[in-house]
With several copies, the nearest count.
Chain A
């Protein structure tokens, strides 16, 4: 069982199909699977539903998939940074399902954990709860949210090994561990592929059981809001 691939293209071989659902890690442009997104763009696959907290920016990250209208629907909490996105959205070419950020994260975790539904107070009394089942627990009202699974999860980690074990770095972790669990197949790109045993066993954030394919890639790691103080 070899999990290691040479690059994004081979790692995605046979996995893509029109109309599929993809869960993508990353928050803004931080910790996004840059190489896999680029390769999905090049594949030309269409009608994608993508669960990702954000939608990238024009010309980078998930924004790349908008250039050829590959995305049918986004499941996101915030999509403000992308003009092309907004054009397609306003033109009715792109559907968006807004999920509160914590609900999206928990939906992905639940999907990966075999939990088809859970109750949360988030969104009760708002548009988000409309049409969803409400239930009272101990006198407080909660809304039923569904676990979310994806045909494919694409994630980015700092280091990974040949068994698919992954370690993330700082806030580049974000949604990646949840997405990794929610994919029927999960493909991981890492900055550094290390020998099995080289990772600290107590800081393997995604155990290899969740990762079917892995490759080492180069990462631009573009910064969205460069904010500094005087030295």
Chain B
């Protein structure tokens, strides 16, 4: 049975290591924070200028000066520090963040990632995604294996404009976990009851053993 959203997030949480500084994208990646092992010391970075992002606030705690990169109200922690945008992206671009987990529309077998624009549709912008994929030490993508039309989102070559070239290290889909290696995708793990045949059938990108 393929993973659902929460199971994908739970699987992604295994990418965390104790002491990591992590930037989570919006959508499913945000759910990863629900699955952080209790004994791990993980610090979340929010690229609008915060290290040590806390939970959503209670009604009483809401502070308009305290939001995350998704513009949602959040809280601070004891460890929290604040900084300006150039400092925030110095941290990201300089490779000081250990891991970023983010969503994608397409990933290619060479690690190209597309998640910011669809030609012909309204383009809202890339926000900090291009900086994150270019700068963070390790990029893990969470996305459905196929789009709503049933077409593979793991491609030989992205059809959409790129967010980053050769930047993805690992992809977690509803079907399994795949690493980008020389020659294509290497299967790391299958979701329960998912077969290799099913993966082959639903994947355009080359799969290497």
Contacts and interface: CB of A to CB of B under 8 A. Distances in A.
Interface of A: 1, 27-31, 53, 76-81, 86, 90, 98, 100-106, 108-109, 111-115, 120-128, 158, 161, 163, 165, 168-178, 181, 195-197, 201-202, 204-205, 207-210, 221-231
Contacts of B68: 171
Contacts of A205: 84
Most chain B beta carbons < 10 A, residue from A101, A128, A170, A210: A101
Given A28-B71, A105-B88, A201-B80, A230 B58 contact: yes
A30 B48 contact: yes
Nearest to B79: A163
Interface of B: 18-19, 21, 41, 43, 45-52, 55-60, 62-68, 70-74, 76, 78-86, 88-97, 112, 122-131, 134-135, 161-166
4 A-B pairs with the lowest CB-CB distances in the bound complex, closest first = A125-B165, A1-B19, A102-B89, A197-B78
Contact of B46 (A31, A76, A77, A171): A171
Given A76-B125, A100-B129, A102-B131, 12 more contacts: A30-B71, A31-B65, A79-B125, A90-B122, A105-B89, A170-B82, A172-B65, A177-B86, A197-B79, A209-B45, A209-B91, A227-B73
Contacts of B21: 209
A226 to B, nearest CB: 6
A80 B121 CA distance: 12
Given A101-B131, A197-B78, A227-B73, A78 B67 contact: no
B59 A121 contact: no
A70 B123 CA distance: 21
B125 to A, nearest CB: 4
A226 B66 CA distance: 11
A207 to B, nearest CB: 4
B96 A209 contact: yes
A226 B62 contact: yes
B93 A30 contact: no
Given A125-B166, A178-B85, A79 B124 contact: yes
B81 A204 contact: yes
Contacts of B92: 102, 114
B72 A209 contact: no
A127 B117 CA distance: 11
B65 A181 contact: no
A195 B65 CA distance: 23
Given A114-B95, A125-B112, A105 B71 contact: no
Given A126-B163, A208-B43, A209-B96, A178 B84 contact: yes
A101 B55 contact: no
17 contacts: A53-B85, A77-B126, A80-B125, A100-B127, A102-B130, A105-B88, A108-B86, A109-B86, A114-B90, A122-B131, A125-B164, A163-B52, A170-B63, A175-B85, A205-B84, A225-B71, A228-B59
A168 B84 CA distance: 9
Contact of A112 (B63, B90, B122, B124): B90
A208 B77 CA distance: 13
Contact of B93 (A31, A120, A169, A174): A120
A103 B118 CA distance: 22
Contact of B128 (A101, A112, A231): A101
A229 B73 CA distance: 10
Contacts of A210: 91, 96
Contact of B62 (A90, A204, A228): A228
